[in-house]
Amino acid sequence: MKNSKIYLFALFAVLCSCKPDTECRVEQNIGMQVVFAIDSLQGDTMRVDFTTVDSITVQGVGNDSVLYDNQKSVSSLFLPLRTDASSTAYSIKAYGKTDTLYVNHENNINFISLACGCFVYHTIYDVGGAGGLIDSLVVLNAAIENYKQDNLKIYIHL
């Protein structure tokens, strides 16, 4: 009799455990991962170094919040893109220069679950800079989803 109660309780526990998560348990941060390379002319040859930026300030254009506020030794940036527009711009200050990074992108809404909501994945189709800091830009991976990978490389000319 005692054993049968235990079995009944175990069965009830198994059945009760069939409810799914109501909290999202997958990576929810989606953004563009940016790395840096510094090119400098040494004699007649151009030298390119992957590097950290000594000090950097990044702010989304049209947003009052600062993403990176005079942050030191930054080797990569994580920049969330707009989900309500197909173009996102950031103001970047480093080495005493200011530049604006433009990213044109496609937004793809993906329903994940009722717990997670919709994730907006992006596809970069164009990038550009307007200022004195950015020398050139290379798109490493155009797809921006909820896993970490380098998406954009910024060449900074000193």
Partner 1 sequence: MKRLLLILFVSVPLALSAQEYADTALFQGANLKLDLGNSVFEPLRSKGDILSFEGSLNFDVMHRFFPTLDLGYAQSDLSAASGSFRGKGGFARIGMDLSALKKRREMNMLLVGLRVGTAVQGCSTRDVVIGNGYWGYSTENYLGRVRADVWGEVVAGLQVQVYRKFHMGWYVRYKILFSRGKNGAVTAYYIPGYGYKQDTNFSFNFFIGFKL
Interacting residues with partner 1 (CB under 8 A): 11, 14-16, 18-20, 22-24, 29-31, 60, 63, 65, 67, 80-84, 88, 108-111, 113-118, 120
Task: Compare residues 8 and 41 and give the one whose CB is closer to partner 1.
Answer: 8
Task: Compare residues 78 and 95 and give the one whose CB is closer to partner 1.
Answer: 78
Task: Compare residues 53 and 89 and give the one whose CB is closer to partner 1.
Answer: 89
Q: How far is the CB of 15 from partner 1 (least distance, A)?
A: 5
Q: How far is the CB of 80 from partner 1 (least distance, A)?
A: 4
Q: How far is the CB of 124 from partner 1 (least distance, A)?
A: 16
Instruction: Say if residues 122 and 112 touch (Cβ distance below 8 Å).
Output: no
Burial of 56 (0-12, 13-18, 19+ CB in 10 A): buried
Q: How far is the CB of 49 from partner 1 (least distance, A)?
A: 30
Q: How many CA atoms lie within 13 A of 89 on its CB side?
A: 10
Locate 116 and state its tokens: 């997670």
Task: Compare residues 62 and 132 and give the one whose CB is closer to partner 1.
Answer: 62
Q: How far is CA 59 from CA 74, 78, 89, 119, 153, in A?
A: 15, 12, 9, 23, 18
Q: Which residue has the tokens 């490493």?
A: 140
